[in-house]
Amino acid sequence: MTAASGKRLGKVLVRAGLITDEQLDAALVLAEDGRSLTTVLADENITTDVKIAQVVAESMGLAFVDLAGYEVDPNAAMLLANDLARRHHVLPIKIQDDELIVAMADPANIFAIDDLRIVTGYEIRPVVATESDLTAAIDKFATMNQNVDQMVGDIEDVGGEADREDESGTDDEAPVAKLMNIIVTEAIRQGAGDIYIEPLENELRVRYRIDGVCQEVMRSPKKLHRQLLSRLKIASGMDIAEKRVPQDGRFGVVLDGKTVDFRVAVLPTVNGEMSVLRLLRKDSIMLSLEDLGFFEEPIGRLLDALEKPYGCILVTGPTGSGKSTTLYAAINKTTKPTVNLITVEDPVEYRLEGLSQVHVNEKAGLTFAAALRSILRQDPDVVMIGEIRDKETATIAIEAALTGHLVLSTLHTNDAPSALTRLTEMGVEPFLSASAINCVLAQRLGRRLCPECKEAYVPTEEALQRVGFPYDPAKMPTLYKAVGCKRCNDIGYKGRMGIHEVMTVTEDIERACVNHASGDEIKRIAIAGGMRTLRDDGFAKALSGVTSIEEILRVVV
């Protein structure tokens, strides 16, 4: 900060009553040693840099951003060279509506704004941040920029020689290793569920799936792709020479004292091999059922089914709907030293102590059905089957449930009643499945509204009628909508919760299934018996302020 800008800032602080004229004069004298006015005022305990930044923001009609709690968009931050960011003490933090939002300690610096506009090609919208937060954030993204720049330079030096791939893949200090570490650690810290490393025609794109929605975080020169993928394949135990067929693997990292496993899938595409990394956090599957967002009545139905010594409990839903997490939460309810519990999965996503887990290997002949036959000879009390995919697996699972075992498994259907008709389509006799199944849980994952910025509103009757939301015209409900703030990265949502439909198989449903009733007929019987549908459960969560109507309609059919 120059002497002129220091004086200008000082006058703003005096006018706001934050400091006196005498304090300003004394601070300006101390600032002659090269420190900024803000640093001097903070060092002398006259005021804090947060109060200074807030006064500056208010005086100029700008937003104040707490960078310590703000998820900076790396794609925006990396638009600016390190020397320019440090020279003007600024950091781009978000790209929004063709504008570049830039955090600045001195937003009155029109020369800095002009330089940013020319260099980035965006219109600049300044926001105010503290000097200390800006320094820390600039240092963080300077490291990221340096790694990417170094990686590009190193690849150009290599000249595309294939024999150097192994060298960069095995040296922990190689730039490609540093870049891979950045991608992985940022994904963990931002709470991503998946990482997508995708070669485009001329670029390499990196995206994170956060709370079920993909967000682009980085674009890099495509020349990075080959060595980055080789590094990933070596870490995951894949064949780096094989580029024509899909491959799977896994590796683990420890960050901040927590272990995170990565399940990696590589798929050949027209632009090169695309890789997807699924983050598997052990703490996410050590949850109890009560932590998953159930209302009292649906979880009561599920707990009743879990207390039975035999029978089958099915969890249904599309890929990524949290079925595995729910199954493991159910296992946590049934795991005891006196219970023999065995799982058969493809793949074993979470490796847990105290469980006997079997990994399916179809190439070696260890299919779900083959594993199940052997498992039943081990006299298990509880069997968890990762997924029922075919008639043979379904038949063995149903027979196991009828012969004294508690069987937990998943199935791909749109709702709970469809599970019974799906088993019939697979070739399982309806009277067997109806007798064996105790309970079916259908679920989806919806995003939670950010508690810091969600906004209450009263919807119109027309809007409620259009989406089928139940209401009393005499007392219109209060709902909430997403707004966006610094805590949720201006998205309006933070975290996810389950939306559930729990169907207990009653005698009426058994009779209907034996008579080859359709899924719709079974659904009507279940609703009459008290089942709350996925949409009704979602609407109830919207009414309680946990999520929005728009989010329920996005994830529920």
For 369-389, letters b (16+ CB in 10 Å) and e give bbbbeebbeeebbbbbbbbbb
Report the predicted TM-score, pTM, of the whole model to 2 decimal places.
Answer: 0.66
Q: Is the pLDDT of residue 504 over 60?
A: yes
Residue type, 274: M
Report the chain's mean pLDDT, rounded to a whole number: 84
**424: CB partners within 8 A, 6+ apart:** 430, 433, 513, 516
pLDDT above 90 coverage of the chain, percent: 34
Q: Is 169 exposed, middle or buried (0-12, 13-18, 19+ CB in 10 A)?
A: buried
Q: Give the pLDDT score at 161.
A: 42
Q: At 284, is the pLDDT very low, low, confident or very high (cuts 50, 70, 90)?
A: low
Return d(Cα 335, Cα 508) in angstroms, integer: 32
Q: Give the pLDDT score at 154.
A: 45
Per-residue pLDDT of 28-53, as tens digits, reads: 888 777 788 888 888 888 888 888 88
Instruction: Average the pLDDT over each of 107-116, 132-141, 320-329, 374-383 and give the range with the smallest value.
Output: 132-141
Average pLDDT, stretch 14-19?
84
Q: Is 245 exposed, middle or buried (0-12, 13-18, 19+ CB in 10 A)?
A: exposed
